[in-house]
Amino acid sequence: MNPPDFHKMRIFQKLGRVDAKSLESCDQLLLILPSKPDASHFRQLPQGSKLQRVMRKSVSDSTPAFTSRLSNKKQTQIVAGALSKNASAFEQLTLGRQLVAAASPEKAGSLGICVIGFDSTEQAKICNNILAAALASAFELPSFKSKNSPPGIKSVRLIGVDERVDTARTEAEAHGNNLARWLTTMPPNKMDAVSYADLIRNLAQARGWTYKRFGTKELLKLSAGAFLAVAQGNNNDSASIIRIRYRPGRTNARADLGLVGKGIIFDTGGTNLKSFESMLDMHGDMQGSAVALGILLTISELKLPIAVDCWLALTENRTGPNAYKSQDVVTAANGKTIQTIHTDAEGRMALADTLVLASRDKPGILFDYATLTGTCVSAITTRYSGVFTNRPELHPRLKRTGQNCGERVWPFPIGEEFMEALKSETADFMQCSPKGAGDHILAASFLSEFIENDTPWVHMDLSASDNDGGLGHVGSRFTGFGVRYTMSVILDENLFKAN
């Protein structure tokens, strides 16, 4: 199986004054104005006084603020939005998503973006955030309809920018996010653990990453009993842990960054079977792995000078005569024993061994991504994701990153005191508590038992992976949350520079 086609969106820029000719080239124009635009702002636009009249008649505080058409050959459709001067990144991204959605029922073709009334730095930032929404919307998610969907956005034009806007990062992040959403949307019968591994190998080959697949045999040798407990319910030998390596410099360099992703292709809940509603969208339970892969793709496209190892735990969680069950005791790759309580808590089992393998290689820092617990959603809804770390001093930076980039997170505590709730009679600890309160904290505390060498580690419970109607700049319910966030940790928080 092959990864999706990442054809590059054509992005044009027109510097200086907005003229009639550059608007003539747009089928639609997203016009972003300050929240209380005045005549001076409209004077910067051809047919500006007409637009100002339309705005006066429109309902205030609505999104779009107004829509109109220019009297030119293309009858360019104007979709305008208002942004306050201190709007957060999340608010800018959300406006982008809403404006793109309002514009898209029309034949999309060439989409213009014009930001007026902000200083150059702010203008560039807003342009990039609206562009992020356009790139998310333009990307085609897997569809198996017999009729083709109407053509979407073909090109983007940034019109009237003061200076050339650097869009390289936004484009690379869009590719990473799009890949994550594409993989997550894939129906589980079209992409099983074997074809997923296959796709990753093809992607690795095309991008010059090294690829290694640890199948059941290798995992048995590594005594990865926690991962294998989940995999034993499969009716074939499809499960594996995949390692891909990106090395911009020396090929034998230690990883600066380790990425780990939960890749449960379909989660039935196992022997403790899920109900219809909870099982319905469980093809999305591999989103953590897709996000890790999306981050690696973004880093690689930006040719960042950091060495990265990416570990993906791929398996189904099925019922059947061989499936694991409550009270099974298994031994993980680090020798710790686990009393199984609930087979639907398979994510932490699959991750446990994967984290052991990833942290054994002593990466500078390790991040993992998993659609892990319902209690994380109960705690912070599907608008935020939870973060947990064995370096609590990172909490302020982790939280700040979310505010700065628009993929927002909330830190939770972990640690030994929470392991009290996982005390076991038959093994070193229980997999989860039969009681279930604070399961996101217990799950993260459980995972911390599998971090070797005291590796600095951040766990992201992806409660924001699936939000009805989309989130931020992304319009689809599967959000690919975590790609943009992690790039911001690396690039804005300067993770790899002393601080």
Q: What residues line the site for Zn ion (CB under 5 A)? A: 267, 344, 346
Residue nearest to Zn ion (CB): 344
Nearest approach, Cβ of residue 347 and Zn ion (Å):
6
Name the residue nearer to Zn ion (CB basis): 171 or 346: 346
336 carries an active-site annotation: no
**Alpha carbons 92 and 97: distance in angstroms, whole number:** 9
| Structural contact between residues 136 and 178, judged by C-beta atoms closer than 8 angstroms | yes
Nearest approach, Cβ of residue 267 and Zn ion (Å):
4
Nearest approach, Cβ of residue 344 and Zn ion (Å):
4
Task: Pick the catalytic residue from 274, 360, 397, 399.
Answer: 274
Name the residue nearer to Zn ion (CB basis): 84 or 327: 327
Nearest approach, Cβ of residue 269 and Zn ion (Å):
6
Task: Pick the catalytic residue from 348, 408, 477, 484.
Answer: 348
| Structural contact between residues 368 and 260, judged by C-beta atoms closer than 8 angstroms | yes
Question: What is the sign of the dihedral through the CA atoms of 353, 354, 357 and 360?
Answer: negative
Classify 360 as helix, strand or coil.
helix
Name the residue nearer to Zn ion (CB basis): 137 or 315: 315
Name the residue nearer to Zn ion (CB basis): 192 or 316: 316
Name the residue nearer to Zn ion (CB basis): 222 or 442: 442
The closest alpha carbon to 261, from 374, 147, 367, belongs to 367
| Structural contact between residues 157 and 110, judged by C-beta atoms closer than 8 angstroms | yes
Nearest approach, Cβ of residue 317 and Zn ion (Å):
6
Nearest approach, Cβ of residue 180 and Zn ion (Å):
19
Name the residue nearer to Zn ion (CB basis): 171 or 368: 368
484 carries an active-site annotation: no
Buried b (16+ CB within 10 A) or exposed e, 326-362: eebebbbbbebebbbbbbbbbbbbbbbbbbbbbbebe
Which positions ≥6 away from 420 have C-beta within 8 Å? none
Nearest-Å Rg of the Cα atoms of the chain is 24
Buried b (16+ CB within 10 A) or exposed e, 293-319: bbbbbbbbbbebebbbbbbbbbbbbbe
| Structural contact between residues 261 and 290, judged by C-beta atoms closer than 8 angstroms | yes
Tell me the catalytic residues: 274, 348
